[in-house]
């Protein structure tokens, strides 16, 4: 590491170099807001006309740029730009860092180090306010030590190989989730599940009967959501004034950890004393959790991979064996818009347990649910396995990142 040289970041990059100007010739733009990117995971693009775009839609990006939100740095709204398009515009809430004399990916990994994130959060103005933010030009004064360019590239290659595999697994999971949702819609919304001859039920003349929710297949019923479950309950939070209620061996999830995926490791653990002296309850593996308090988390889901507890802002659904947690998960995701509308009509934009329990849904016959589960259970298992691998890859990357970027660990020390 003796040949690494120290610089100010401003010697190597330009911050917010390009913005929309007179030569911008696109009426329709692909707009990227800060909430659309988290830990280099970009959500589906949002298209709008420049005229109708938010006033903060100003920054232009190019391949190799790092975008990092200046607001709430700890939320990790950052990403590395690949395959940019000329009509892509990002929010002024991003600092767009363009490399000039540094490997682009090495720059990205330097900026996303935990110690950099913590520092940016520390200097964010109004640290006790709702929207603490740092000034984009404050990035210029960061100190960075650099090896020669070939070493920068080699370090970035090691880390990006891990990220590429994470990205691939995320893409596969997205495709698997889309397949499961498509099957759900085909069977339970369009009523085109296979009949006894393997033909789509409704379009093959399957008998439909009237219900309060419209026409449904004969033999199906209208029942409250609770009828799908063995148990439905909200969680609880042990008193944060008691240190002995925490740092135990019982997993405890908060709603911010619900991201429509499997739940493995919780950010906090509670003790047996915390469990015994609160309304928290232990729920088994494959319990589906749904956030019921406050936008934007209302309706977000999670699936427990082992028994755990959760806070009172979430509702746990233990599906009946003949129904399956997969069906409950897909149903709740399908109902998210409707349930959000119920929450929006409430004073605090919250859902209460009784409202959800008694929400009427179309209840398929047990044989149809069983057939559906036989198909989608393998899809959900694949998603779970991929998510486990993603977690392992992230742990490996996060362990290597600060050591490689600082020079503490040399490339030749990493076994092939």
The CATH number of residue 321's host domain is 3.90.220.20
* Listed residue (1, 227, 12, 210) closest to 99, CA to CA: 12
Average pLDDT of the chain, as a whole number: 92
Last residue of a domain, one of 146, 172, 194: 146
Report yes or no on 400 lying in a domain: no
Res 21: pLDDT? 86
> What is the total count of domains within the chain?
2
At residue 337 the predicted structure's pLDDT band, cuts being 50, 70 and 90, is confident
Residue 405 lies in a domain: no
Grouping H, G, I as helix, E, B as strand and the rest as coil, residue 24 is coil
Q: Among residues 86, 48, 64, 97, which one has the least CA distance to residue 56?
A: 48
- On whether residue 374 sits in a domain, the answer given is no
Q: Is the pLDDT reported for residue 233 higher than 80?
A: yes
Match 């309060």 to its residue by tokens: 212
Q: How far is CA 172 from CA 10, 325, 384, 387, 392, in A?
A: 39, 21, 11, 10, 16
Whether residue 357 sits in one domain with residue 233: yes
Angle of helix 366-406 relative to helix 114-123, nearest 10 degrees?
A: 90
The reported pLDDT for the residue numbered 400 is 95
Q: Are residues 38 and 135 in the same domain?
A: yes
Question: What's the mean pLDDT in 171-191?
Answer: 97
What is the domain extent for residue 89? 5-146
Distance in angstroms (rounded) separating the CA atoms of residues 291 and 255: 6
376 lies in some domain: no
Does 403 have pLDDT greater than 90?
yes
Q: Residue 3 gets which letter from DSSP?
A: T
Cα–Cα distance, 151 to 155 (Å, whole number) = 6
Q: 284: which DSSP letter?
A: -
For the segment 60-74, the average pLDDT, to the nearest whole number, is 95
Residues 233 and 117 in one domain: no
Structure token digits, residue 209: 């009967």
Q: Are residues 131 and 242 in the same domain?
A: no
Which of 113, 146, 179 is the C-terminal boundary of a domain? 146
Measured CA to CA, the distance from residue 395 to residue 375 in angstroms comes to: 32
State residue 151 phi and psi, 5-degree precision: -70, -40
Task: Examine the pLDDT at 22 and tell me if it is beyond 90.
Answer: no
**How big is the chain, counted in residues?**
416
Locus of tokens 């603490």? 132
Whether residue 386 is contained in a domain is answered as no
Mean pLDDT of 278-306: 91
Domain final position from 146, 170, 198: 146
CB atoms closer than 10 angstroms to residue 304: 24
Whether residue 140 is found in the same domain as residue 225? no
Helical axes 325-334 vs 366-406, angle rounded to 10°? 80
User: 12 and 133 share a domain?
Assistant: yes
Distance CA(413)–CA(411), nearest Å, equals: 5
For residue 211, being part of any structural domain is answered with no
The answer to whether 292 touches 234, Cβ cutoff 8 Å, is yes
In a domain, 196, yes or no: no
Over 80: is that where the pLDDT of 194 sits?
Answer: yes
Reported as a single tens digit per residue, the pLDDT across 96-136 is 999 999 999 999 999 999 999 999 999 887 545 567 899 99
Contact 314, 290 (CB under 8 A): yes
Q: What is the DSSP string of 51-73?
A: TTS-TTEEEE--TT-EEEESB-G
Residue 298, pLDDT score: 82
């Amino acid at each position: 590491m003796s040949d690494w040289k120290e610089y100010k970041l401003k010697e190597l990059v330009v911050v917010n170099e390009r913005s929309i100007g007179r030569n911008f010739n696109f009426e329709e733009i692909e707009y990227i807001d800060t909430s659309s990117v988290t830990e280099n995971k970009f959500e589906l693009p949002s298209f709008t006309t420049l005229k109708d775009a938010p006033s903060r839609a100003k920054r232009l990006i190019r391949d190799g740029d790092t975008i990092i939100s200046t607001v709430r740095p700890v939320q990790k709204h950052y990403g590395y730009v690949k395959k940019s398009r000329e009509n892509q515009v990002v929010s002024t809430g991003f600092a767009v860092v363009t490399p000039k004399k540094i490997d682009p990916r090495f720059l990205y990994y330097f900026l996303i180090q935990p110690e950099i994130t913590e520092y940016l959060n520390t200097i964010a103005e109004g640290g006790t306010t709702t929207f603490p933010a740092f000034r984009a030009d404050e990035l210029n004064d960061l100190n960075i030590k650099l090896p020669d360019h070939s070493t920068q590239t080699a370090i970035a290659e090691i880390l990006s190989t891990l990220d590429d595999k994470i990205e691939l697994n995320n893409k596969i999971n997205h495709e698997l989730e889309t397949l499961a949702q498509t099957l759900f819609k085909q069977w339970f919304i369009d009523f085109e599940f296979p009949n006894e001859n393997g033909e789509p039920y409704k379009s093959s003349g399957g008998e439909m009967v009237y219900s309060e929710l419209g026409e449904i297949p004969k033999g199906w019923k209208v029942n409250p959501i609770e009828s799908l479950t063995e148990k439905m309950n909200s969680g609880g939070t042990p008193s944060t004034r008691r240190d002995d209620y925490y740092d135990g061996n019982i997993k405890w999830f908060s709603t911010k950890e619900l991201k429509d995926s499997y739940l493995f490791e919780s950010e906090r653990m509670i003790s047996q004393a915390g469990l015994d002296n609160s309304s928290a309850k232990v729920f088994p593996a494959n319990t589906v959790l749904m956030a019921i308090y406050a936008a934007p988390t209302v309706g977000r889901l999670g699936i427990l991979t082992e028994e755990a507890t959760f806070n009172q802002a979430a509702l746990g659904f233990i599906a009946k064996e003949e129904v399956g947690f997969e069906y409950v998960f897909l149903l709740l995701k399908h109902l998210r818009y409707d349930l959000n509308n119920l929450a929006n009509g409430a004073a605090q934009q919250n859902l209460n347990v009784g409202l959800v329990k008694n929400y009427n849904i179309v209840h398929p016959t047990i044989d149809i649910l069983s057939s559906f589960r036989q198909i989608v259970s393998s899809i959900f298992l694949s998603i779970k396995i991929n998510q486990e691998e993603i977690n392992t890859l992230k742990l490996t990357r996060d362990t290597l990142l600060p050591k490689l970027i600082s020079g503490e660990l040399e490339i030749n020390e990493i076994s092939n």
